[in-house]
Amino acid sequence: FSFQSTRPAGPALEALSLLLQDALRPVPAAPPPGGETDVVFSPSAAVIFWHETVGHPLEAEADERSSVLSRVHSAAVAPPDVEVVDDPLREDLPGSYRFDDEGTEARRVPLISSGVVGDLLSDRRTAGPQSNGHARTPDFRRRPRPRMANIVVAPGSSREEDLITACGEGLYVREIASGSADPESGRFALFVERADAIRKGRLGGRVGRFVLTGDVLKALSQIDGPPGDTVLPSAGLSLCVKGGDGVPVGGAAPALLVRSLLARPPRR
């Protein structure tokens, strides 16, 4: 269980209380799904989807092979209403900072603009004096590397309930416990903690834990319709570990409908 909120103390504690009550209440769950399925991500879950599918593949690494997105720089990979930035200047989110760990002033970096692949997140090693202020390290004993700060996605024009209706048959993902991505191959996995079935365009019963997997380029191309019209921060994303280095991160996004992701039961 994880929780974070940018709301004032009173409303935040009330939301935490409701979530704890829900987490402790036994809820019958259907067996986890298997095979291809259409998925509506809640705003909180969508943040982690974007973190894994766009953020990690656009972290520059000069001494490593290029990622699936860096190889298609300036190409259209998502619908034209998709706008994704990394914004370390968002002080209401946990990944905020004014200067990175090399002393470079932090900058807001467009990652996907009108569906087109934008800039890499860079440091002085990968971009020299043109670094955009994303060198990060957990402490002085580890060299800084290009890392995300706060993934922020612009709202679209869809209501969340309309995305559920448009999904028809599939899954509504409420909470993702963790995720992983291989930037070079483009494969990613999302470990879903809480989800509901969607049947005939309506929410059904709770579904047991499962894993969603996919390919970055294919998943981005299968985003269906404009994103949701309400942007909310992720309740569970606060630390990202890469190569053994953990740094604070955050994000805010609207709900999202993605077609044909692969669901499988978790391995025991």
Q: What is the pLDDT of residues 214-267, one digit of tens each?
A: 999 999 999 999 999 999 998 777 889 988 899 999 999 999 999 999 999 887
* 132 φ/ψ sector (left φ>0, alpha ψ -120 to 50, else beta): alpha
Q: What is the pLDDT of residues 74-96, one digit of tens each?
A: 999 999 999 999 999 999 999 99
Torsion of CA 35, 261, 258, 192, to 10 degrees: 90
Q: What is the pLDDT of residues 89-134, one digit of tens each?
A: 999 999 999 999 999 999 999 999 999 999 999 999 999 999 999 9
pLDDT at 34: 84
- For tokens 């190409």, the residue is 75
User: Average per-residue pLDDT in the chain?
Assistant: 91
Q: Is the pLDDT of residue 40 over 90?
A: yes
- For tokens 């494969």, the residue is 187
Cα 181 to chain centroid distance, Å, stands at 11
Tally of CB atoms within 10 A around 205: 11
Q: What is the pLDDT of residues 197-206, one digit of tens each?
A: 999 999 988 9
DSSP class per residue in 123-144: -HHHHGGG--S-EE-SSTTS--
Give, in degrees to the nearest 5, the angle at Cα 123 between 121 and 124.
150
Query: What is this structure's pTM?
Result: 0.90
Please state, in angstroms and rounded to a whole number, the distance separating the CA atoms of residues 249 and 235. 12
